């Protein structure tokens, strides 16, 4: 089965409902702009009646279904500000503070990217090894089709591969050196992306397009966006498109900053909205359990 399709069906299954103990399957065929949006807020929100904390990622099917990625239960104060789901089902994430995992065997600072794979934590990106100053906040992570990591940071950085990146730029890491992947302020847009903007969520899209969110309201290329919105940037145009207007989907987003995002691949299966609920909990070895967060990656509701 196609990796992208399998990932979508899995995420849809996690968000499905169960009526009277019978799994409810809702599947719509044909084109749709999004199957789901995975995003994390900077504050606690209620989305479709589901409480989402800033240390969690909400996987929203845009039809009222919300599943939560809890990363095994992060401590209070550890805000998730970068997120990416790999093709094999593992996830990458970063937090705004230093957090220890596996009894202290893995310690991640805000400049690092953690990988969670089948309950095991490791550092996917060690900022200190890559020359990132300690305490710098890595606030966006994605992966290009070729395998390189795409990162964003909250400050201007000198890049090991040469040059520098501002906080509105995206950085590529090939496992050895850092280089500039996207210089937003250099795009010939009217108006251009201003220097006051900071990219705080990013997702690499097909065809060299980038999905980004910012830490404040702004305008570029004739498109106005808020800090809870996601825009698509096509450097080849160049062009800007408002892709996800969060507050029109959930009014509660209007008081929050969207600071981590991942979008599914567009295509004819983008309308799959739900799946078999029990499959969602059993995939990747998860089971629907009691409220012991240490045993569940997703919020454990009774």
**Token pair belonging to 225:** 């966006």
The answer to whether the pTM exceeds 0.75 is yes
DSSP 3-state assignment of 15?
coil
Domains belonging to the chain, first-starting first, are: 1-36+266-289 (no CATH), 37-263 (2.110.10.10)
Number of other residues whose CB lies within 10 A of the CB of residue 38: 21
Number of other residues whose CB lies within 10 A of the CB of residue 62: 17
pLDDT score of 35 = 63
- R_g of the chain computed on alpha carbons: 18
pLDDT score of 267 = 54
In whole angstroms, what is the distance from residue 233 CA to residue 140 CA?
15
Closest by CA position to 170, among listed 135, 134, 209: 209
φ, ψ at 260 (rounded to 5°): -160, 140
CA max distance for the chain: 60
| Regions in the chain scoring below 70 on pLDDT | 1-35, 265-302
CB 232 within 8 Å of CB 243: yes
Quick check: bond before 62 cis, omega within 30? no
pLDDT score of 36 = 85
DSSP 3-state assignment of 140?
strand
CB 72 within 8 Å of CB 297: yes
Instruction: Please give the helix or strand (H or E) that residue 203 lies within, else none.
Output: strand 199-204
pLDDT score of 189 = 97
- Burial (CB < 10 A; 0-12, 13-18, 19+), residue 88, is exposed
Residue 210: beta bridge partners? 204, 233
Number of other residues whose CB lies within 10 A of the CB of residue 287: 10
In whole angstroms, what is the distance from residue 200 CA to residue 259 CA?
5
């Amino acid at each position: 089965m196609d990796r992208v399709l399998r990932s979508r069906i899995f995420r849809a299954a996690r968000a499905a409902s169960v009526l009277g103990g019978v799994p409810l399957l809702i599947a719509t065929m044909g084109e749709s702009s999004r199957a789901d949006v995975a995003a994390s807020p900077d504050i606690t929100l209620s989305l479709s009646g589901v409480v989402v904390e800033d240390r969690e990622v909400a996987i929203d099917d845009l039809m009222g279904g919300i599943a939560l990625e809890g990363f095994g239960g992060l401590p209070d104060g550890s805000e998730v500000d970068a997120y990416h789901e790999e093709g094999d089902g593992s996830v990458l994430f970063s937090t705004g503070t230093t957090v220890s995992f596996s009894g202290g065997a893995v310690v991640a600072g805000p400049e690092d990217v953690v990988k969670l794979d089948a309950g095991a934590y490791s550092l996917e990106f060690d900022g200190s090894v890559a020359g990132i100053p300690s305490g710098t906040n890595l606030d966006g992570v994605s992966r290009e089709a070729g395998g390189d990591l795409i990162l964003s940071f909250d400050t201007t950085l000198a890049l090991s591969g040469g040059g520098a990146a501002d906080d509105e730029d995206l950085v590529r890491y090939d496992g050895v050196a850092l280089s500039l992947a996207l210089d937003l302020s250099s795009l010939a847009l009217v108006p251009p992306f201003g220097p006051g903007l900071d990219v705080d969520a990013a997702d690499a899209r097909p065809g060299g397009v980038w999905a980004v969110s910012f830490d404040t309201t702004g305008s570029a290329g004739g498109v106005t966006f808020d800090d809870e919105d996601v825009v698509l940037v096509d450097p080849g145009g160049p062009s800007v498109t408002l892709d996800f207007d969060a507050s029109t989907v959930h009014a509660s987003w209007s008081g929050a900053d969207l600071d981590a995002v991942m979008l599914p691949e567009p295509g004819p299966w983008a309308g799959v909205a739900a799946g078999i609920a029990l499959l969602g909990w059993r995939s990747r070895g998860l089971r629907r359990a009691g409220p012991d967060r240490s045993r569940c990656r997703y919020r454990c509701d009774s």
